[in-house]
């Protein structure tokens, strides 16, 4: 059972986490949801299309202008509070690596801290424990926040992913983060080249076998673009193919831009796997 905020999700229940970037320089939408009203409209649409989690980020993952903790908090804290007021049932996640920002958004109503940079600030897990919220434990290959990998190597990339993410999850548990609210994430593209991310996908079942719920953040990433030689705006098909493979291998939570399309892929895979009945079954029965 995965428990986040007021929501509980069964073992075979796929969960969509919709991305809402409060940044003026997002790699995907170039700031489309930087202002409050477009961002709130995005939340409303994502929830209507089937997202159970809204992931709010105040700093783009890639290199760019410096964003201080104060500025990150300014972009996210008030917005978290407003989303909490308007959408009381939705699970609110905040994508941050900073403990002080994590504490501020938890005070505002966040249910989950999405630590995409692999525990670079150990205090973030302590914040999650203090507030009783969930935590995403990600493999980033030891990279510093907002840096790109350069000639990174692993003897065995999945072995390193398992060592880091399970270690972070066990530390979080020892600090008091609820076990049912901890997830592990292989960190596609983070501290990895394209071949590493493809191998992490191919071997995702090894993460699932640990017993920790697995979150994947695949949406329109560079490893999809390089695999197919496609620019950012032409990576949806590759993303959905990777989503289907990840679902078949047992990932549970999907951080995405395209909510409606992802919902259809996850429902189809769940039905093929026998975990979901068809929405309609008339063929050959009339």
Instruction: Please report the domains of the chain, with CATH numbers, ordered by start residue.
Output: 2-273 (3.20.20.20)
Give the pLDDT confidence score for residue 239 in this predicted structure: 98
User: Which H/E stretch holds residue 17?
Assistant: strand 15-21
Which of the residues in the chain have pLDDT under 50?
A: none
257 and 240 Cβ atoms separated by less than 8 Å: no
Active site (annotated) includes residue 221? yes
pLDDT digits (tens, 9 = 90+) for 205-228: 999 999 999 999 999 999 999 999
Strands 91-95 and 112-115: parallel
What residue has token string 């980020």? 57
Strands 7-9 and 2-4: antiparallel
Q: Which two tokens stand for residue 45?
A: 């649409």
What residue has token string 């098909």? 237
Measure the CA–CA gap between 209 and 196, rounded to whole angstroms.
19
Give the pLDDT confidence score for residue 226 in this predicted structure: 98
Measure the CA–CA gap between 41 and 99, rounded to whole angstroms.
28
User: Which H/E stretch holds residue 254?
Assistant: strand 253-256
Q: Which two tokens stand for residue 53?
A: 């989690």
Give the pLDDT confidence score for residue 250 in this predicted structure: 98
User: How much of the chain, in percent, has pLDDT values that exceed 90?
Assistant: 94
Reported pTM: 0.96
Give the pLDDT confidence score for residue 189 in this predicted structure: 97
184 and 162 Cβ atoms separated by less than 8 Å: no
Which residue is catalytic, options 179, 255, 263, 283? 255
Which residue is catalytic, options 179, 221, 263, 283? 221
């Amino acid at each position: 059972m995965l428990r986040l905020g007021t929501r509980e999700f069964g073992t075979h229940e796929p969960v969509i986490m919709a991305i809402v970037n409060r940044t003026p320089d997002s790699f995907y939408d170039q700031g489309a949801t930087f202002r409050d009203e477009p961002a709130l409209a995005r939340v409303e649409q994502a929830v209507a299309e089937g997202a159970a989690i809204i992931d709010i980020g105040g700093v783009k993952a890639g290199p760019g202008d410096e964003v201080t903790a104060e500025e990150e908090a300014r972009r996210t804290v008030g917005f978290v509070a407003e989303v909490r007021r308007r959408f009381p049932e939705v699970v609110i996640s905040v994508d941050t690596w900073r403990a002080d920002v994590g504490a501020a958004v938890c005070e505002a109503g966040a249910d989950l801290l999405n630590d995409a940079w692999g525990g670079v600030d150990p205090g973030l897990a302590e914040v999650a424990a203090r507030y009783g919220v969930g935590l995403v434990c990600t493999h980033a290959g030891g990279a510093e926040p907002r840096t790109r990998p350069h000639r990174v190597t692993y003897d065995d990339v999945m072995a390193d992913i398992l060592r880091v993410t399970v270690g972070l999850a066990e530390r979080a548990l020892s600090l008091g983060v609820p076990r049912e609210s901890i997830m592990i994430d292989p960190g596609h593209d983070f501290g990895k080249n394209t071949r590493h991310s493809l191998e992490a996908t191919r071997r995702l079942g090894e993460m699932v076998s640990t017993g920790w719920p697995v979150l994947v953040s695949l949406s329109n990433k560079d490893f999809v673009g390089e695999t197919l030689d496609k620019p950012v705006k032409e990576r949806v098909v590759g993303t959905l193919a990777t989503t289907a493979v990840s679902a078949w291998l047992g990932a549970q939570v999907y951080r995405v831009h395209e909510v409606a399309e992802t919902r259809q892929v996850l429902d189809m895979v769940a039905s093929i796997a026998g975990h979901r009945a068809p929405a309609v079954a008339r063929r050959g029965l009339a």
